[in-house]
Amino acid sequence: MKNLKQEIYFPIIIGIHFIFWAIDLYFYKGSFMEVHSDTMFFGEMKETSWNNNHRILGEVFSSWVVTVFAFNFLMATRAKWVERIFGGLDKMYLIHRRSGVIAVVLLLAHFFIVPRDLVAFNPGKPLGFYAFALILVGVILSAAPIFKRKIPYHKWINIHKLMGVFYVMAVMHGLMVNSLIKELPITRIYVFGMSFLGIGAWAYRAFFYNLVNKKLTYTISSIKDLGNQITEIILAPENTSLQFSAGQFAFFTFPSISKKEQHPFTISSHPNKKNLRITVKGLGDYTDNLAQKLEVGQTAKVEGAFGHFTLDHTQKERQIWVAGGIGITPFLSLAKQIKDQKVDLFWCVNKAEEAVYSAELEKVSRNNPNLNVHIWASSTQGYIKVDNLNVDDFSKTAFFICGPAALKQSLFKSLKSKGVSMADIHDEEFAFR
């Protein structure tokens, strides 16, 4: 199945509205009137018929806002079918983030353009204003890079969950105020249907998700400090083992650190092993000094598996894999999955001694001549370029990239300039926010 990319997702969401609005307005026989109203920008209006531009445009914007957020709440359910549509949770969260920002721009447009009745008081009006202000603040806190740096993830996610409450307020506003949407049969069903779906999805994620999705219990059987802030943790299943494919990740909770906090880590062991291995780089308050925070014998809760960074999504046998730093984790598992594929794996590190799994990868490579491992030390060799990747024919090669954003962006750009299709570039994002 082809993944739904943002270039297609946004036009679909926008296009559906145009179609529904156009059909409804074409057949509209009602007599919606502005009695006495004004808009934030365009001033007073008296006895204007239903087809005044401000009314239609303002409500089109509001219907976009409601449905874009509804789809965002659906994405946040982490449902497998939703993940499949977008080609991985990381891709889905990227669209989720961008949609949130787009929805706020549309919300501003609605607020400034839509006419407000000046005659009758309706409690839906102040409710709408509070919903508008809270959603604005909520999205700024969620998406602005400055808050990304300043607010730790576990605090940020709690604030972010409040978006559902603000959304409920916005939907109630829509139900209470006079609107043209309420008179348009298709648009009304679509907008209110989606809004109830959105509220349901948010309520499921906020209140029922943990009841429905039972996590697997594992016990920590080994903790190794590999230096350079890297910790390797081996986990043994208490009962049922996690089902996963090489290259996938899961959400891990270590109750001895925090009962609630869940962090995504790629499983760096192969599915044919009973125990799970994760390899974690200290990058923040939770992951820093992880080896000192955990003890052998402690429990871990595991939820998964997720992700599309697997070999199932390409038919190409010739493959180039590029890992940057801790981005090696999916490849440690994938390396043991190679059968007929011919793979060159480039592991980019600052200094060669940081490649802590080079011996393990060389052993896999000795047992399987289809895998060639190259350690690329940027302090002596400079940053890796596409010309360093041993590619004979770009059109017959699939690329798998996992590493820092700068590495990915530079390789993406060069690969595109060589005519490589995006369908042949597979990447994993190590951040959802």
Ligand X SMILES: Cc1cc2nc3c(=O)[nH]c(=O)nc-3n(C[C@H](O)[C@H](O)[C@H](O)COP(=O)(O)OP(=O)(O)OC[C@H]3O[C@@H](n4cnc5c(N)ncnc54)[C@H](O)[C@@H]3O)c2cc1C
List contacts with ligand X (CB under 6 A): 90, 148, 152-153, 249, 261-266, 279-281, 283-287, 307, 326, 329, 428, 430-433
Q: What is the closest distance, in whole angstroms, from the C-beta atom of residue 269 to ligand X in the complex? A: 11
What's the token pair of residue 28? 């509209």
**Closest residue by beta carbon to ligand X:** 284
The minimum distance between CB 87 and ligand X, in angstroms, equals 13
Q: CA torsion sign, 173 to 176 to 182 to 183?
A: negative
Give the position of tokens 């604030």.
159
88 vs 128 by CB, closer to ligand X: 88
> Least distance in Å: CB of 243 to ligand X?
17
Residue (54 or 281) nearer to ligand X, CB: 281
Give the contacts of 330 (CB within 8 A, at least 6 positions apart): 246, 247, 248, 249, 266, 268, 307, 309, 402, 428
Q: How far is the CB of 352 from ligand X (least distance, A)?
A: 20
Q: Quick one: 344 or 428, whose CB is closer to ligand X?
A: 428
Q: How far apart are CA 415 and CA 394, in angstroms?
A: 8
Q: Which is nearer to ligand X, 61 or 430 (CB)?
A: 430
- In the bound state with ligand X, the residue whose beta carbon lies nearer, of 75 and 170, is 75
Residue 204, number of CB atoms within 10 A of its CB? 17
Q: What whole-number distance in Å separates Cα of residue 110 and Cα of residue 11?
A: 19
Q: Euclidean distance between the first and final Cα of the chain, in Å?
A: 26
Question: How far, in Å, CA of 141 to CA of 163, rounded?
Answer: 11
Cβ 279 to ligand X shortest distance, Å = 6
Nearer to ligand X, 142 or 279 (CB): 279
C-beta of residue 135 within 8 angstroms of C-beta of residue 97: no
- Cβ proximity to ligand X: between 313 and 342 the closer is 313
For residues 369 and 73, give the distance between their C-alpha atoms in angstroms, rounded to a whole number.
Answer: 46
Closest distance to ligand X from the beta carbon of 291 (Å): 13
The closest of 431, 426, 428 to 415, measured between CA atoms, is 426
Min. distance of Cβ 290 from ligand X in angstroms?
Answer: 8
